[in-house]
Chain A
């Protein structure tokens, strides 16, 4: 629009009496601020979430896993033993790198108070069973239904291995495939600790 308006000096500021607050606007201001602050809070939470890695300490989140072969295991029932929780999937190439090593180590330690739990994450049963057959895995492996366990442990991918001490405390996570002698080293450390002691600071 071609306004012939010469700019500015002409138009005065609005007179003060026109600044009557309208009834609706009493709610507008707090609502608007509330919404924006709510959004910012959500974003802040999202940021914190995005930056946090897998759980590495604190009480290990409890779960009950039903294996492909029907056996079940509940983590909290394993007090007094060291638990090694390995997240894997049949379509994950690095998982295959560590599969034989895991099974070997399990066979060495199974009578020494160590429990291996394999959590199959986002996988198909057919391929998972084929994977278990291929590496002749004997420790309990089961599907993570609804990926609940994975969410509790906040895994970022597979393979990831979590170590739980005799008191049910998480003592670290290994991201990526394990190679000798990492696994034995961790297990020996945790086995050596007496039960009932709080973890070192």
Chain B
């Protein structure tokens, strides 16, 4: 046995190192975990594949990008800094959520305007519906035959029964 002490030291070091790798391989191990990367990747779309979020995309390119996010997180970049970097590198379409400023603000504003306009239109329609009876149009089906004379008490009871059913 040549140099037993060195061999023992090497063995111990090796064991210690592999143990630390073992810890890393477990979920909950060192930052940044896959989940941390995915939180950022979720906010991005793959720059190359059509309409695929970055945390889901399985191509080699996307794996590279997720690895890049991991490196950036490990270096202490904030989420916003990473997103800004991606926009600078690959263009605005890499963001999953359209920005709130500039031309893109139109995508957010118009539905609100449309909904408000719709509400205004509805109020107008309801008001018009409450207008005078002479404006009524022709009936869609012929009016029913006239009701026979009935005891109002019986009628009231019938109305009540019907209301229970409706």
Contact = CB atoms under 8 A, between A and B. Distances in A.
A13 interface: yes
A109 interface: no
Chief secondary structure at chain B's binding surface: helix
A11 B81 CA distance: 70
B67 A124 contact: yes
Contact of A5 (B91, B92, B142): B142
B64 interface: yes
A24 B68 CA distance: 57
B138 interface: yes
B91 A146 contact: yes
Contacts of B88: 145-146
B61 interface: yes
Contact of B47 (A10, A90, A126, A147): A147
Contacts of B47: 122, 147
Contacts of B124: 24
B139 interface: yes
Contacts of B140: 11
**A interface, how many residues as a size bin?**
20 to 34
A32 to B, nearest CB: 13
B3 interface: no
Chief secondary structure at chain A's binding surface: loop
A12 B142 CA distance: 10
A112 interface: no
Given A90-B64, A122-B47, A5 B141 contact: yes
A74 interface: no
Given A122-B48, A124-B65, A147-B47, A14 B141 contact: no
Given A24-B124, A122-B48, A126-B68, A146 B90 contact: yes
Interface string B137-160: 111111010000000000000000
A122 B48 CA distance: 7
Interface string B80-115: 000000011111100000000000000000000000
Interface of A: 3-6, 10-14, 18, 24, 89-91, 122-127, 143, 145-148, 151
21 contacts: A5-B141, A10-B142, A11-B138, A11-B140, A14-B138, A18-B135, A91-B64, A122-B48, A123-B64, A124-B64, A124-B68, A125-B68, A126-B64, A145-B89, A146-B88, A146-B92, A147-B47, A147-B90, A147-B91, A148-B91, A151-B91
Given A5-B142, A11-B140, 20 more contacts: A6-B142, A11-B139, A11-B141, A11-B142, A12-B138, A91-B64, A122-B48, A123-B64, A124-B64, A124-B65, A125-B68, A126-B64, A126-B67, A126-B68, A127-B64, A145-B89, A146-B89, A146-B91, A147-B91, A151-B91
